[in-house]
Structure 1
Amino acid sequence: MIYRAPAKYLMYSVPLTLLIGFIVGLNFDTTPMKSTLLIGTIIMIYATMVGFNFKQLASTAGSKVLIFSVIINFVIIPVIAFGLGTLLLTGRADNGAMFAGLAISALLPTSGMTISWTVLQKGNVDAAVKLTIFGLILGSLLAPWYLLVMVGQYVPIDIWGTMKTILLVVFVPMILGHFTFKLLLRKMTPQHFKKNVKPKFGPLSIWAMLYVVFVSISTGAKMIVSNLELIAIAVVVLLLFYAINFAISTFVALKFFNREDGIALVNGTVLRNLSIAIGLAATSFGPEAALIVTLAFIIQQQGIANYAQISMRKWFKPIKKQTTKKNIQENTQTIS
């Protein structure tokens, strides 16, 4: 089914959209589409918010994992991003926007992928849900101030404008998603919603995300052609960023947590909310910032897929039922 194809084959749909957007941008002027980026971002986030269980925020379960994730996500990871950006992205004046893109990616942790991969690896799903909600809320409130400190000297930061954009693309879809869920529950049981309705929202989020990627890259295609080294620099920075992130999160998970909580911690601190990041990067900082976030989609997806295979053979081995490499590869295609 065409509607579900991009979500089912996310590893291919993002690079393909990147390529199509690049080609279209070289031959046509897509600048007028910039005005629709905010709408695409809101739809993208709204689709993931329908059915989110916010009641789990009041539970004390998983508090230790939450505390460690907050320290990693909002202390350690920003320091890593700032260090890499300062070392590798400040040598040229036009790299300031790319630094902003890296910073935005680092400051918006957790996404639906956090929960999906925790389910796949048989980790603590309840903890993953809590990390996702808290990460989204805290990241939205703190990101504008972190951006001012991290990249304010390289690119102009409209602190209130950035905050309004984040509030618009996070809390408005969150509220709409919550009310949509309540309205649907008047007509169906929670079980029916979870089984038959909720899965239909996932592909909508991916389609909206691909639209944002397409517009972001097509509007900046000519700029990229004249600065091809930007792609090489972005890939190097992102590979280093994710490698360090995986290493730190895995060390903490193995040192302080059992298997299930450790998996939730890694997924809640390594996987960034790139859906929101690309919308914010494109609308606030331009195509260079959007480029590095788009490349992060590819690297993050491939990175977590490889990590899941290796970790479940080495340090996160299933306790009861051994999950094979084939199982991981097959299930990877179904995650959106």
Structure 2
Amino acid sequence: MNLFLLPSRNIVVTIPLVLAVGFVTGLLMDTSVLKNYLLLVTILMIYPTMIGYKVTEVINFNHTRLLLAASVINFVLVPVLAYILGIVFLLKDPQLFAGLAIASLLPTSNMTIAFTHFARGNIPAAIKLTVISLVLGSIAVPWYLLVMVGSYIYIDIVAVLKTVAMVIFLPLVMGFATYSLLLKKYTREEFNKSVKPLLPATTAWGMVYMMFTGISTNAQMIVSQPGLLFIAIIVWMVFYFLNYLMAVKIGRWYFCREDALTLVFGTVLRNLAISIGLAATAFGVTAAFMVSLAFLFQGQSAAWFIRINEKYKILPEENPVSTQGKCN
């Protein structure tokens, strides 16, 4: 059990370790056979993240203003930011561009809820935002990809739609069904205590497989073109910095502290677990490699943001500009 839980409990150490081991392994041997199992691993990786959501979390109309603001950031401002960065830095390798585009189009994950909880934000709104963004992002991904990278890489819309159905909607339906069955055996309190803590471990092992495959199969390319790795890392640094800047500015102007925190973590944190699986199955390991590099920044930046916000009050208790942003 300790071995099973190891990656999820030590994600900050696991990510660079897997990337390092995968890189060395890729230099010493051919790991391309791992690509044959990407679709299966992707489904098994995403399925646990879907267990625990309730349909009722999507269909009520609370937190409308916060959800609308987050949706504008997630599906207008962030894709535009990713497109500009891709045009400026990644045109020489459209696969990397595709990886950046996919990650930009799939916002929110369980990390959104977790970090909102750690920061004492609006958790009910975070849960609803996570589910809604997942559904909207899944529908929008193929068409956004056609616009964003369709001129630089062939986009088979039908194939992408099939992939989305396989790696997102299938696990989503399975997750809803599994949760309903589990509630016949456990109370919600028992589920949260005994079952839910085990779910991230399965996802973490899936991400380990994806990251290892992505880095190992691209090791030779990185050695021959080290500039691509450097550029990709720079792109992610700029992407996250500007994403935080947008979310914080809008949060300070229009929302109270609790809602602003939910806005930040609901728009900055991308669903990298689904993104890396979709990138790998729809475009290949190079696109998945681009997504895997985001793991170097996402969790650590969110943890540091909580610390910095608590120390310097980046998001003050009351909205300094508009009384409309006060929490009820």
> What is the TM-score with the length of structure 1 in the denominator?
0.91
Counterpart among 205, 214, 220 of residue 207 in structure 1? 205
Greater mean deviation of Cα atoms: 123-132 or 13-22:
13-22
Q: Distance in 2 between matches of 1:107 and 1:163?
A: 14
User: Where does structure 2 lack aligned partners over 5 or more consecutive residues?
Assistant: 318-328
- Whether contact under 8 Å (1:97, 1:285) holds in the other structure is yes
- Whether contact under 8 Å (1:41, 1:169) holds in the other structure is yes
Q: Which amino acid aligns with 1:22?
A: F
- Whether contact under 8 Å (2:82, 2:100) holds in the other structure is yes
Greater mean deviation of Cα atoms: 196-205 or 121-130:
196-205
Q: Distance in 1 between matches of 2:222 and 2:66?
A: 41
- Whether contact under 8 Å (1:38, 1:283) holds in the other structure is yes
Give per-residue Cα distances to partners, 1:107-159, cap 9 Å, x unaligned. Answer: 11001100000000000000000110011111110011001101111111111
Please say if 1:45 is aligned against 2:46. yes
Q: Which secondary structure does the structure 2 equivalent of 1:298 belong to?
A: coil
> What is the TM-score with the length of structure 2 in the denominator?
0.93
- Would you say how many aligned residue pairs link Structure 1 and Structure 2? 316
After TM superposition, give the deviation of residue 317 of structure 1 in Å. Answer: 6.8
After TM superposition, give the deviation of residue 284 of structure 1 in Å. Answer: 2.2
Give per-residue Cα distances to partners, 1:82-117, cap 9 Å, x unaligned. Answer: 111111112x2xx11111111111111001100000
After TM superposition, give the deviation of residue 27 of structure 1 in Å. Answer: 1.7
Q: Distance in 1 between matches of 2:158 and 2:309?
A: 42
Paired residue for 2:113? 115
- Whether contact under 8 Å (1:263, 1:316) holds in the other structure is no
Q: Which secondary structure does the structure 1 equivalent of 2:142 belong to?
A: helix
Q: Distance in 1 between matches of 2:273 and 2:118?
A: 21
Give per-residue Cα distances to partners, 1:34-87, cap 9 Å, x unaligned. Answer: 111111111111111111123111222111110001100000001111111111
Q: Which amino acid aligns with 1:236?
A: I
Give per-residue Cα distances to partners, 1:165-188, cap 9 Å, x unaligned. Answer: 111111111111111111112222
Q: Distance in 2 between matches of 1:56 and 1:186?
A: 19
- Whether contact under 8 Å (2:35, 2:285) holds in the other structure is no
Q: Which secondary structure does the structure 1 equivalent of 2:270 belong to?
A: coil
- Whether contact under 8 Å (1:122, 1:318) holds in the other structure is no
Superposition pairs of residues 1-336 of structure 1, within 5 angstroms: 1-90=2-91, 92=92, 95-315=93-313
What's the C-alpha RMSD, in Å, of the aligned pairs? 1.3
Greater mean deviation of Cα atoms: 127-136 or 307-316:
307-316
After TM superposition, give the deviation of residue 318 of structure 1 in Å. Answer: 8.7
- Whether contact under 8 Å (1:22, 1:217) holds in the other structure is yes
